[in-house]
Amino acid sequence: MTNVHDTPVTVLGLGAMGRALAAAFVRAGVPTTVWNRSAGKDRELVAAGAIRAESVAAAAGGKGLLLTVLLDHASVHDTLDPVAADLAGRDWINLTSTSPEQSRELAGWATAHGIEFLDGGIMAVPPMIGNPGSSILYSGSPEVLHAHRATLELLGAADYVGPDPGLAALWDFALLANMYQMFGGFFHGAAMAGSAGITATRFAERAVPWLTAMVHGLPGYARAIDSGDYVTEVQDLAFQKSGLDAIVRATQDAGIDPVLLDPLAALVNRQVSAGHGAAAFARTVEELR
Which residues in this chain contact ligand FVH in the complex, by CB under 6 A?
13-18, 36-38, 41, 69-72, 75, 78-79, 96-97, 122, 125-126
Q: In the complex, what is the shortest distance from the CB of residue 59 to ligand FVH, in angstroms, rounded to a whole number?
A: 12
Q: In the complex, what is the shortest distance from the CB of residue 269 to ligand FVH, in angstroms, rounded to a whole number?
A: 35
Q: In the complex, what is the shortest distance from the CB of residue 174 to ligand FVH, in angstroms, rounded to a whole number?
A: 14
Q: Rounded to 10 degrees, what is the CA torsion of 235, 238, 243, 249?
A: 170
**Is the CB of 16 or the CB of 274 nearer to ligand FVH?**
16
**Is the CB of 35 or the CB of 230 nearer to ligand FVH?**
35
By CB atoms closer than 10 A (0-12, 13-18, 19+), residue 128 is: middle
Helices (H) and strands (E) in the chain, counts: 12, 8
Q: What is the rounded distance in angstroms from the CA atom of residue 20 to the CA atom of residue 16?
A: 6
Q: In the complex, what is the shortest distance from the CB of residue 191 to ligand FVH, in angstroms, rounded to a whole number?
A: 25
**Is the CB of 41 or the CB of 276 nearer to ligand FVH?**
41
**Is the CB of 34 or the CB of 260 nearer to ligand FVH?**
34
Residue nearest to ligand FVH (CB): 15
Of 104, 105, 112, 103, whose CA–CA distance to 84 is shortest?
112
By CB atoms closer than 10 A (0-12, 13-18, 19+), residue 56 is: buried
Q: In the complex, what is the shortest distance from the CB of residue 43 to ligand FVH, in angstroms, rounded to a whole number?
A: 13
Q: In the complex, what is the shortest distance from the CB of residue 95 to ligand FVH, in angstroms, rounded to a whole number?
A: 6
**Is the CB of 102 or the CB of 271 nearer to ligand FVH?**
102
Of 225, 224, 215, whose CA–CA distance to 289 is shortest?
225
Q: What is the rounded distance in angstroms from the CA atom of residue 284 to the CA atom of residue 263?
A: 11
Plot region of 132 (φ>0 → left; ψ -120 to 50 → alpha; else → beta)? beta
**Is the CB of 18 or the CB of 64 nearer to ligand FVH?**
18
